[in-house]
Structure 1
Amino acid sequence: MERVEAELFTDGGNNAVVRLPGRRFPGVLIQGDSLSILRSNVAELLEACEQGDVAEACETAGLLLADLDALLTRYSAALDAHEIPRPY
């Protein structure tokens, strides 16, 4: 394990915006339990697709999109607050 100092652009929470040494842009640190939930939602989406359950797949995809939009909004707000251009 290596210890490094990182720049924290938001509160810690479940998805902190941080910049590691040597990186131009910050990233999003997602806690393990939150990552596991995202993975489970993707698995649920795949299962619904495999079963041909379009309604369930659309609902799950909508929830995933909402979760990812929230992460991206938090990321964008942190960059804006620190006058950092977006990498995309």
Structure 2
Amino acid sequence: MRTETVEIYSDASNAAVIRHPGRQFPGMLIQGDTLHNLSRMAAAALAGAVPDTDHWYDLQELADDLRVRTEFYIQVMREHGLELPFFPAAAD
């Protein structure tokens, strides 16, 4: 872990907009519990989609991206001995 100064454009709850040093554009911070919920919603939407359609492939890509990001979040939290803000499912 390291500490750096970031530019904060909004610190609204669940809508923080920050610019990390070295990045041209600000990004939006997604809290861990929100990330986990988005990942689960995408997986549920995928499960209800018609397989092998354009819509299904878009949902598959979204669900995969959110799952990978959630897995990375879990890994980083565990590496630093931090408690997760959610109970991971067996698939997490």
Query: What TM-score results when the alignment is normalised by the length of structure 1?
Result: 0.53
Gaps of 5+ in 2: 52-58, 60-92
Whole-angstrom distance in 2 between the partners of 1:37 and 1:15: 15
Gaps of 5+ in 1: 53-60, 62-88
Deviating beyond 6 angstroms after TM superposition, the runs of 4 or more aligned structure 1 residues are none
Q: Which amino acid aligns with 1:37?
A: N
SS of 1:18's equivalent in the other structure is strand
Give RMSD over aligned pairs. 2.1
Shift of 1:12: 4.2
Measured against aligned partners, the alpha-carbon deviations of 1:6-38 in whole angstroms (never above 9, x if no partner) come to: 010012411210001111100011000111111
- Relative contact order, higher structure (CA 8 A, sep 6+): 1
User: Which residue is 1:6 aligned to?
Assistant: 6
Query: What TM-score results when the alignment is normalised by the length of structure 2?
Result: 0.51
SS of 1:9's equivalent in the other structure is strand
User: Which residue is 1:33 aligned to?
Assistant: 33
Number of aligned positions between the proteins: 53
**Identity between Structure 1 and Structure 2 (%):** 42
Q: Which amino acid aligns with 2:43?
A: A
More helix by share: 1
Q: Which amino acid aligns with 1:42?
A: A
What are the residue-to-residue correspondences of 1:1-88 with 2, within 5 Å? Answer: 1-49=1-49
